[in-house]
Amino acid sequence: MAKHLKRTTLARNKKQLPILEKVTITDIAAEGKAIAKVDNLVIFIPFVAPGDVVDIQLTKKKHNYAEGKAIHFYEYSSLREAPFCEHFGVCGGCQWQHIRYEEQIKYKQKQVTDNLTRIGKVDLGEILPIKGSVKTVAYRNKLEFAFCDKKWLTDEQIKSEQAFDRNHALGFHISGMFDKVLDIHKCWLQDDISNRIRLSIKDFCISHEGYTFYNARSQEGYMRNLMIRISSTGEVMVVVVFKDEDEALRTALLTHIAEQFPEITSLLYVINGKCNDTITDLEVFTFKGKDYIIEEMEGLKFKVGPKSFYQTNSTQAYELYKVARNFAMLTGNELVYDLYTGTGTIANFVSHQTKQVIGIEYVPEAIEDAKNNSSLNNITNTLFFAGDMKDILTQDFINQYGRPDVVITDPPRVGMHKDVVDTILFAQPKRIVYVSCNPATQARDINLLSVKYEVCKVQPVDMFPHTQHVENVVLMKLKEE
């Protein structure tokens, strides 16, 4: 390794760590960083692209891998394009902006195939080309921002002699830092009304007394969080989270928001004096408009409240659900189990082509949303249950409600509990449609299911352009005995 090394001192940990010179970046890792190899040492580096030739400053070194950052470029990859966001490289939300979108989805397809092959250890059947996102900017229907009284400054700002407001940030948490927030000027992930609302709120709070920004360490400060949701039907929800109740301050700010942005159809607020930012256990108050917005898909309407889960890319959610429905091969006579049903979006989406859909979800509020969405669309053949999946979905449950012909499962990133897998194997549905946001845990579960099932089709769907995340749908069929 000697030809690659020179020594430098890192002020952060006072240890001598090497610089690797003229290293070619070769690949992209599943977690979004790029990969280089030097004398069998695997190095993970953010914000570079395969084909870049760089000097790498190591920041962490273990026995079999290292982490580093590019400090000098000799050659730039042909896969690159200019990032469009001023916050790229600091925000951390869109790590792949510097890579052309058509190349991003190639790596996502490879990520899916590699995980299913290496971890699943099964024949993958037909692997369909990834469905790229039609919209690569302004594709998110929900963003959450944090107020902070200690603004994160970039290296350029720190080195600059210009004076900066260090006390007022409204933006995104720096990755891995609960108490550091990067002030966001323009975010490209949501329609621009989101930027205008956020900046207007920040300016009002700075220019009026009493609106102190939150400090996560001392847990002081009046302004805490902001959520903005924009539906595919054009409705806008704004949720302002205050640390304490102060009717005069609260009313003045919310009145300002309502007057400045008549487009807002749901203006809500929360008082959160807890140590954490979650609002799932808190009351949400309506200041103006409705307490929900409406999403629409194939003529179906879905109520989305401030606590509701709904796929954050509405356009691609429709593509994802169409894949799941097509894979299910429904004729109208099937009993379908929709596991991890959330607010019942998939269950209601496929209901017209089934005999009955039974949805199961851990969060009771989500199940209430699912029931309401069935009622809203005059759907009468759905049945929903709230509880821990491994406790609800048992052999007794199947004996009582019927053996499913098709199971559609869309678990969280950790995948399915082994007890759930075992119950599916007991139920022996003809087909399993497995929707996943984590191909690695999906592959693990598929390996467990492979004792009775074979993979027939694989369809990746890109829900989050400029990130490493990818959704994947797998169709499994019961093996013939």
Per residue in 130-158, is it b (16+ CB within 10 Å) or e — as a string?
Answer: bbbbeebbebbbbbebbbbbbbbbeeeee
- What is the C-alpha to C-alpha distance for residues 295 and 284, in angstroms, rounded to an integer? 20
Other C-beta atoms lying within 10 Å of the C-beta of residue 416:
26
Sheet strands (E) in 306-391: 335-339, 356-361, 382-386
With tokens 């956020």, the residue in question is 198
Spell out the long-range contacts of 185-189 with Cβ–Cβ below 8 A and sequence spacing 24 or more.
185/86, 185/87, 186/85, 186/86, 186/87, 187/85, 187/87, 187/93, 187/143, 188/84, 188/85, 188/94, 188/137, 188/138, 189/93, 189/94, 189/137, 189/138, 189/139, 189/140, 189/143
Pairing between β-strand 223-230 and β-strand 236-242 as defined by DSSP bridges: antiparallel
- The whole-angstrom separation of Cα 150 and Cα 461 is 38
Alpha-helical (H) ranges within 402-458 are 418-427, 439-449
Distance CA 150, CA 147 (A): 9
Q: Return all residues near 363 (Cβ < 8 A) that are at least 6 apart.
A: 280, 309, 342, 386
Q: Which of 85, 94, 148, 437 is catalytic?
A: 437
Active site residue 437: yes
Closest CA to 450 of 128, 127, 126, 120: 120
111 in helix, strand or coil?
helix
Joined together, the tokens standing for residue 162 give 């210009």
Q: In degrees rounded to 5, what are phi and psi of residue 389?
A: -55, -45
Task: Give the residue carrying structure tokens 């006579």.
Answer: 333
- Sign of CA pseudo-dihedral 272, 277, 282, 283: positive
Query: Residue 409: how many CA atoms within 13 Å on its side-chain side?
Result: 28
Residues labelled catalytic: 437
